[in-house]
Chains A and B, each alone.
Chain A
Amino acid sequence: MQFIKTRFNYLFNSTKGLILVAIAMVGIVTAVWGMLSGPMAEMGVREIVIKAFGMKIVQAEREGRIVILYHSIAMAIIAIETYMVTGLIKMKAFYKTAINATITFGYIQTMVFGMGFAYFGRNWAFHGLYITGLSLIFFAGLMLIVALWPWDKEYFITDKEYAHTKSGLDLERTAFFATAVTTVISSLFGAVPGSYYGHGFETFLAENIIRIPEKTVMEFSVIGHLHIMLALIGIMITLIIGRWLNFKGILHKFAMPLMILGTIVLNLGVWGVVTPLEPVAHMVIYVGATPSMFAALLLLIWDWNKLIKDGTANIQKPTFGQKIGALLRDPLKFGPTWQMLFMNFTTSGIGIFMAIKLDEIFRVWPAREERIELTGHWHVLSAIIATIILLYFGDMNGFKGKLRQWYGWSIIIFSDIAFGAVTVFEMKRLFVTEAAQQPLVNGLMYAIDFGLGMLLVILAAMMIYRLIDLFKNKGRWIEELDHELAQEVDK
C-alpha cells in the first residue's frame, strides 16, 4: 500500500509528476485516436481499433466527436502549461495546490468522460461530467488569475535585469497574468455557443464553412475561440520557455511590454469578430499578432546569443564553426526557440502567403483543397507547441550526455521533417496537378509518417523509461518529488 501511496503522491502531488501524467494521457489519446484517420484508416487499422475498443462510430456525429477529441487533448496541454506556470512563478502555496488539484481533476474528467461520450455511445451522464470537467478548468483559470495578480507588492521586483515599471511592477508576471486573463475570457467564446447546442446552434468544423459569406454570431464566436485559444497556448509556452531559460537583459525589457500589448490587442481583435466591428477585426488581429511575434523573436535572439556566449566563454576569438557548435551543443536549450523559428516557415509564413494570395490562388482551388491547408496549418502549429513541451520535459528529466543529444535532436529533426513535408503537402497544388499528384503525395506521406511515427516512438520510449523508474525504490521520481521547476531555471 505504501508503494502505491508514495507513487501516487509523486504523480499527483509534484509538478513533474503531474506533467508526466498529463503527457502520458495525451500520448495515449494520440496513439489510439491517431489510428482512426489518415494512412491508418487506409491500411484498415481504423476498423480493427474500432472493433477492439468497442467504439460506436455514428457518421453524423463525426464533427462532434472531433470537437470533443480536440478539447480533450487541448485541456491536457493547458493543464501542463498551468503546472509549468505554478512551478515557475512565485505564488502562495495554497493557490498552487488549489490550482493544480482543480485543473488535474478537470482535464482528466474532461478527457475520460468526453471521450467516453464521443466514442463509446452517447451516455449523457458522461456528457455532463465532461462539461463539469471543462468548468473545473475554467475555475482553475480564475484561481490562476488571482494567484498571478501582479500588483501585489510582494511580487514587485527591483532587479534591473528584468522588465519592470518604476514602481516595481514585474512585467513578465504581468505578461503571464494578461495571458491567463485573456485565456479565461476567450474560453467563454466557445462556452456560450456550446450552451446553445441543439437550440439554434449545431456542431461544425470551422474549416468547412470558410467560404460561406454570411456567418452567424455563434459561428464567428467559435471561429474566434479556436483561433485565439491556440494562439494563447502558443504565447503561454513562449513565456514559460523564457522563464525557464531565465530570459533577461535589455531584450527582456523590450519583449515583455510587447508581449502584454500583443496579447491584449490580439484578443480584442478576436473578440471583435462577434461584434459589429467584425470588418476591421482582422486588421486589429494582425496589429496584435505583430508585437507578440516580435517579442518571441527577441527571446530567440537572446537565447541563441546566450548559448553562443556560454559555449565559447573560454575561447578568446571563436570561429564561426565554434559559434555554431556552441549554439547546437545543447538541443534542449536550442530546440524550443528553433521550433518557434521553424514555425514561421510552416505556419506563420504560409498563413501570410495565403492571406496575400487568397483570391488569386487559394480560392481558385476547391474548398476541400483550402481545408487541407487550414487543417495542416493548425495541426503543425499544435504539434510544434507539443515538441517544445517535450524538449522542456527532456530537461526536466535530467537527460545528460548522449541521451540528451539523441533525445533533443531526434525530436527536432523528426518533427521538422514531418512538419516540412506537411507544409509541402498543403501547398502541392502550386506545383502539381491533381491527376499527377500521387507520386508526390506518396513521397510526402512517407516523410510525414516517418517523422510523426518516430516522434511517437520517442515519446513511448520515454514513457516506458518513466514507468520502469516508478518501480524503483530510489528512482528518479524520488528526486523529483520535492523538486520545483523554479529551482532549475538557468542562472
Chain B
Amino acid sequence: MKRILTTPSLRGRRPETISNTGARLLRCSLRSLLAMTVIFLASCSPADLNAPIPAFDTGIDPNIWTQVPAGEFHHGQFDEIASTEAYEIMVTDVTAAQYADFLNAALADGSVKMDGEKIVGFYPGDKFHGLKHEEKIEAGDWLFIPLDDPSQRIKFDGSTFSVQSGYENHPMTHVTWFGAWGYCRYFETRLPTELEWEKAARGTDERPFPWGDDIQRGNANFYSSRDPFEDMSTFGSRTSPVGFYNGQTYDGFQTVDSASPYGLYDMAGNVWQWTGDVYEGMHYRFMRGGSKDTYDMDLRIWVRNNATPTYFSPGVGFRCVRDE
C-alpha cells in the first residue's frame, strides 16, 4: 500500500527558503489584515445623529384610545388560552411631543426634577427577594430620561422642554421604564401588562403579527426595512412617525395598513414597548413588539425582550392603558 505524503519535507532545503516562506506568509497575512483594516476604517466614519429626517403627517391622532373587551385570547407562541379584564389602550405609542408636554407640566408641579443632565422622578420601589442576579429597586428618585445623550430628541432650554424638529410625532425614546411608568401614572393610567399588550396586538385569533400571518417591508419599521427614515450605509435605522404604516403612500413609499384587530398602530416594529409587570425575583422589565433595530422575527407578537428598568435606548418607547 502506497503511503500518501501529506507534509512536504523540509529536510535538505536551504535555510533561506524556510525563512523566506515564513516571511512571505507573514507579509501575505499582514497585507490581508491591512486591506481589511482599510475597508473597516473607511466604513467607520461617525454616524450623523442629527441628519435631516423627512416629516410626514400620518393622520393618526396619538391622543386616541381604544377599547379592548374582557375575555379570553390566544397567548404566546403556542396559543395558550389566557384572559384579561376590559381596558382601554392608546392607539399609538406616546409621542415625543406628548412626553415634552408631560415634562413641562410635571417639572412645574414638582412631580419630576432635574438632577444635572437627567430628569428623575420618584418610584416607590419593589420587594426584594434576593434571588440570583436580582438587584434591589429601592424607593427613591430614579432616572426618567437623560438629557445629555446625543440622540435624545427632547431638548431643555433651561425653562421649557421641547422636541427636536421633525421628531414631534415620533415615539418617545430614550426613556427608562421609570420614565414610562411615571408618564402613565401622572395621567392616572398605567403601563400595560404583558398579557394586555399581547391581546391588544393580536385580538382573539392566532396571528403572529398584528395585521396577519406574514410580514412585508410595507408593514412595519424593522431592521433594513428600507423605509424613508433609514440609511443603512450611514446612520442606520431611525424611528418613523406613530401610525405611519396605515396604508398611505409617502413620497412614493407605499405602506400597508397594519393596524391590529383593535386598531392599534406600531404594535410591531418602530420601538420596543415597555410593559408594566414586575415579576417576583427579577428586577428586569419586559418589552414587546420589536423595533426598528431588530429583524422581523422579533416583531412576532409573543417575542419578549427585557432590560434593567434604568435602560434607555433610541429603540425603546411605550404606551399606556387605563381601566374601564
**Residues of chain A at the chain B interface (Cβ within 8 Å):** 37, 41-42, 59-60, 62-63, 202, 208, 211-214, 310-315, 318-319, 321-322, 324-330, 332-333, 358-359, 363-368, 395, 398, 400-401, 404-405, 409, 413, 417, 433-444, 446-447, 450, 479, 482-483, 487-488, 490
Contacts and interface: CB of A to CB of B under 8 A. Distances in A.
Contact of A368 (B8, B281, B298): B298
Contacts of A436: 46-47, 49, 150-151
Residue picked from A315, A368, A487, most chain B C-beta under 10 Å:
A368
Given A208-B304, A211-B306, A313-B10, 18 more contacts: A42-B223, A312-B10, A312-B15, A321-B19, A321-B22, A325-B21, A367-B304, A395-B6, A433-B151, A434-B293, A435-B150, A435-B314, A436-B151, A438-B232, A439-B45, A443-B39, A479-B4, A482-B1
A326 B43 contact: no
Interface of B: 1-8, 10-13, 15, 18-23, 25-26, 28-29, 32-33, 36, 39-47, 49, 77-79, 131-135, 149-151, 206, 208-209, 213-214, 223-224, 232-237, 272, 281-282, 284, 287, 293-298, 300, 304-308, 311, 313-316
Given A326-B10, A409-B25, A438 B234 contact: yes
Nearest to B47: A436
Contacts of B306: 211, 366-367
Nearest to A443: B43
Chain B binding surface, main DSSP class = loop
Contacts of A364: 307-308, 311
A368 B22 contact: no
B100 to A, nearest CB: 19
A330 B6 CA distance: 10
B61 to A, nearest CB: 28
A328 B235 contact: no
Contacts of A59: 208-209, 213-214, 300
A325 B19 contact: yes
B46 A329 contact: no
Contact of B26 (A37, A324, A401, A443): A324
Given A213-B132, A441-B236, A315 B4 contact: no
A227 B196 CA distance: 35
Contacts of A211: 133, 282, 284, 306
A37 B297 CA distance: 10
A363 B6 contact: no
Contact of B281 (A213, A433, A487): A213
Contacts of A319: 19
A404 B8 contact: yes
A417 B32 CA distance: 9
20 contacts: A42-B224, A59-B209, A213-B133, A312-B10, A315-B15, A322-B19, A364-B311, A366-B316, A367-B304, A368-B298, A398-B4, A413-B29, A435-B151, A435-B314, A438-B47, A438-B232, A439-B45, A443-B40, A479-B2, A487-B3
A200 to B, nearest CB: 11
A60 B207 CA distance: 9
Contacts of B305: 366-368
Contact of B21 (A328, A333, A400, A442): A328
A447 to B, nearest CB: 6
Contacts of B3: 487-488
Contact of A326 (B22, B209, B232): B22
- What are the 8 A-B residue pairs with the smallest beta carbon separation, nearest first? A325-B22, A438-B236, A435-B151, A59-B208, A443-B43, A366-B307, A42-B224, A443-B40
**Residue of A60, A212, A330, A417 with most partner-chain B CB within 10 A:** A60
Contacts of A417: 32-33, 36
